[in-house]
Amino acid sequence: MARITTTFYGTRGSIPICDPKYLEFGGNTTCIAFLMHSTNRISILDAGTGIRALGKHINENFSEQSAIDIAFTHFHWDHIQGLPFFDPAYNPNRTINIAALGEGGQFTDLRKIFKNLMIEEYFPIQLENMGAKFNFDFKEDNIYENKGILLKTIKQNHPGGSFGYRLEVEGCIIVVCTDLEHGDTINEDIVAFAKDADLLIHEAQYTDEELLRHKGWGHSSFNQAIEVAERAGAKQLIMTHHDPDHDDECLRKIEKECQARFKNCSLAREGMSIEL
């Protein structure tokens, strides 16, 4: 049996898309779930619009999990906008643990971020009236260890800042690096951070040509993601945070080109699960 299953509930970057040409790869913004089989618990990274469907899945299949952990890479709209529509947050028998890790983080008052997200001018239900108990925890450490789980973070180059996550649990290594800009050359620290990953999830919003036109926007290209995987010795690469202008036809073509260079890679699709 798999020790950990990673499932993509949101794969789109910047803004959600609803159009027939985007059905295969999905239109919801970033949300990734991790199921630890040893404990039968789900943890979540980022709360883009994909967290809405994840919440329904949790209600139907994990009703006994009273506490749900949600960690964040950063707090741009496409990574937080789904939280007001997360059904478990309306259950008074649930506890929602909101966490962010990383030395040098700019946002230490997590409660304020989500309280402002749901003020009356923006949303009819305020954070304190959702129902579930919320805990907010900002850790300025880059390393967190608890009950056999080792979690590391790395600060990334992105407007406003963002953090990559490295999860080591039960012999598996999963690395998530989204919303980062390498610059003219690949960031050596990111390569070291992804070293020997069983699964590397790396953003790839742009083609090489598009990247030249979007310097300073905080994102990477497909070829940059592959180079990180190659140099880090990653066993499997999944590219995500798809540009809202890249429809299914475009992404299918890009995926074939990427697989010609790095065989064990794919572009993330909503609902895709990877078992390690």
**What pTM value is reported for the model?**
0.96
Q: pLDDT tens digit string along 138-160? A: 877 788 887 778 999 999 999 99
pLDDT (0 to 100) of residue 100: 87
pLDDT (0 to 100) of residue 95: 97
| Domain CATH number, residue 169 | 3.60.15.10
Q: How many domains does the chain have?
A: 1
pLDDT (0 to 100) of residue 146: 76
- Among 276, 192, 274, 193, smallest CA distance to 240 is for 274
Task: Note the residue count of the chain.
Answer: 276
Half-sphere exposure of 162 (CA within 13 A, CB side): 27
Q: Where are the alpha helices (DSSP H) in the chain?
A: 51-61, 77-80, 110-117, 188-193, 208-213, 222-232, 248-261
User: Which residue range forms the structural domain that includes residue 60?
Assistant: 4-275
Q: Which residues of the chain have pLDDT under 50?
A: none
Between CA 32 and CA 34 the distance in angstroms is 7
pLDDT (0 to 100) of residue 108: 66
